[in-house]
Amino acid sequence: MTGKTLRTTQGVGHTYDSILDTIGNTPSVRINNLAPKGIDMFVKFEAANPGGSVKDRLAVNIIEAAERSGMLKPGQTVVEATSGNTGIGLAVVCAQKGYPLVVTMADSFSIERRRLMRILGARVVLTPRAEKGFGMYRKAVELAEEHGWLLARQFETEANAEIHASTTAREIMADFEGQRLDYFVTGYGTGGTVTGVGRVLRVERPGTKIILSEPANAQLLGSGQVQSRSEDGSPTASHPAFEPHPIQGWTPDFIPAVLQEAVDNHYYDDLRPVPGMAGVQWAKKLASQEGILTGISGGASFAVAMEIAQKCEPGSTVLCMLPDTGERYLSTPLFEDIPEDMTDEEVAISMSTPGYHLA
């Protein structure tokens, strides 16, 4: 039936008071061409958020929780360490609400992320890649202490998992009401998604298996080694199992306190390592075969979801988290073999009519 009738839209029936009111209610989208026969596969498409990623959710809740508690004063600067998506989300929120934002970020992360944050009004302080995620985290702490800025604390704050329990999980529950939901697959950065969604699914959909993923060459949870941390939950050192990996936004070089709740409370049923290049390959397949543009982290989660889908019983339903859009990966391995100039095939197409020219 698809394509036989003209598509129409009706609007949402109301206007929005600000861009922040468009955060959440992201779609669960069926996978039609890549899904194994007899398996219902869906992706939670977080690129539909205004800042292009799932991190918009925690960004708005961190700021509004700080407003409610009185910790954030009018005009006060916010500072946070981020690999990019949280910084972009915070930049959207702070631009709308009128708070200056300073982001600390290792210089190994994509240039597009820096430019996106800066066009949204944030200032970006780069830290040496050799110091890894812990280095950018430590710099944010130093700046907050020195200048009296609000440290967003995405890796420790209760506001992180809280927003996923109250929005992400509720959307999943509504989308699959009365339907099977056998598997939910996600990776982790801060751990907010798996912790918040896990809180709800464990109670309301206990039959749903939650599958957590991490980079094959940086298996912090898989190593079984405990993270050293201070009383407030913040890390005191890099985790010994960490190695640099290409899945930007996943797995910093420490186990966040937010994620630790999911570990301690057994919010996931299985932990699957995934190679970084598998994330690149599946992100490309999602783009070229489903028209779904996601980043390397989304591709990595989908790689694990495909492993599950290929082995689970017929009729199963698999939902995979796609954290962000692929456009902020232009300078990463995701796009390194995507040409700028015409390929031989494209030249041949151009030359197939008399009015061709070579650029």
The residues annotated as belonging to the active site are 55, 297
| Burial of 1 per CB tally in 10 Å (0-12, 13-18, 19+) | exposed
Q: Which helix (H) or strand (E) holds 318?
A: strand 317-322
Q: Which helix (H) or strand (E) holds 123?
A: strand 123-127
CB atoms closer than 10 angstroms to residue 173: 15
In angstroms, the CA 136 to CA 103 distance is 9
Place of tokens 């390397």: 296
Query: How far lies 153's CA from each of 6, 105, 109, in Å?
Result: 48, 14, 19
Tell me the two tokens of residue 278. 């598998």
In angstroms, the CA 98 to CA 93 distance is 8
Q: Please check whether residue 222 is in contact with residue 195, taking contact to mean a CB–CB distance below 8 angstroms.
A: no
